[in-house]
């Protein structure tokens, strides 16, 4: 259980948007993510909301269509995700929150050392972001009950395979 956010940390909230609201155990996930946001705000932790949006760097979307068929990725946050004025919004063109974004630059500017990672899809967007963050030298803490995926197995597999190897696991 997270008792307190570490110094020089940032909370990443990834892809909680219209096209991702059909994740496993959604009601519990929603309750937990709201609790996490409030907890971070009380401790004045930097919060970065990351949303997928198609742009000139979304070169992989044709392959995604081949894999999944037609899809809608609007980048619209769900109605309960309301960033405050001092919180940051990052738009990403791929599954990875670092690739072709200014996230790393923003984190370095704010002297961030530890990333608390939450959001959806655990086996895709969360995992790709954690790999890049790890590779860039950040300490990664994945908040298990504030992440979700299309099904329980894929979500759980990420934590089974990478916990204490790529990241530390916590819960809110």
User: Going by DSSP bridges, is the β-strand pair 139-148/168-170 parallel, antiparallel, or unpaired?
Assistant: parallel
Give the model's confidence band at 25: pLDDT under 50 very low, under 70 low, under 90 confident, else very high.
Answer: very high
Q: Which residue has the tokens 């608390």?
A: 116
- pLDDT score, position 94: 87
For a pLDDT cut of 90, what percent of the chain falls above it? 74
- pLDDT score, position 53: 78
Q: Which residues pair with 120 in a beta bridge?
A: 148
- pLDDT score, position 145: 98
Mean pLDDT of the chain: 89
- pLDDT score, position 65: 56
pTM for the whole structure: 0.89
pLDDT greater than 80 at residue 95? yes
- pLDDT score, position 93: 86
Q: How far apart are the first and last CA of the chain?
A: 5
| CATH number belonging to the domain at 9-170, selected among 3.40.50.850, 3.40.50.2300, 3.75.10.20, 3.50.50.60 | 3.40.50.850
pLDDT digits (tens, 9 = 90+) for 26-85: 999 999 999 999 999 999 999 999 998 765 545 555 555 565 565 555 555 667 788 999
DSSP code string of 13-61? EE--BGGG---TTHHHHHHHHHHHHHHHHHTT-EEEEEEE---TT-TTH
Indicate the helix (H) or strand (E) that contains 139. strand 139-148
pLDDT greater than 80 at residue 110? yes
């Amino acid at each position: 259980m997270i008792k307190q956010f570490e110094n020089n940390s940032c909370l990443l909230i990834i892809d909680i948007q219209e096209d991702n609201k059909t994740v496993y155990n959604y009601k519990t996930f929603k309750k937990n993510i709201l609790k996490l946001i409030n907890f971070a705000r009380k401790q004045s932790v930097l919060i970065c909301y990351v949303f997928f949006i198609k742009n000139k760097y979304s070169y992989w979307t044709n392959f995604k269509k081949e894999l999944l068929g037609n899809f809608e990725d609007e980048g619209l946050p769900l109605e309960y995700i309301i960033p405050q004025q001092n919180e940051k919004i990052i738009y990403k063109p791929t599954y990875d929150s670092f690739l072709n974004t200014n996230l790393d630059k923003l984190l370095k500017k704010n002297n961030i050392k530890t990333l608390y990672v939450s959001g959806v899809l655990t086996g895709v967007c969360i995992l790709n972001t954690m790999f890049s963050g790890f590779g860039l030298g950040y300490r990664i803490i994945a908040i298990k009950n504030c992440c979700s995926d299309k099904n329980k197995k894929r979500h759980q597999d990420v934590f089974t395979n990478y916990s204490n190897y790529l990241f530390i696991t916590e819960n809110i």
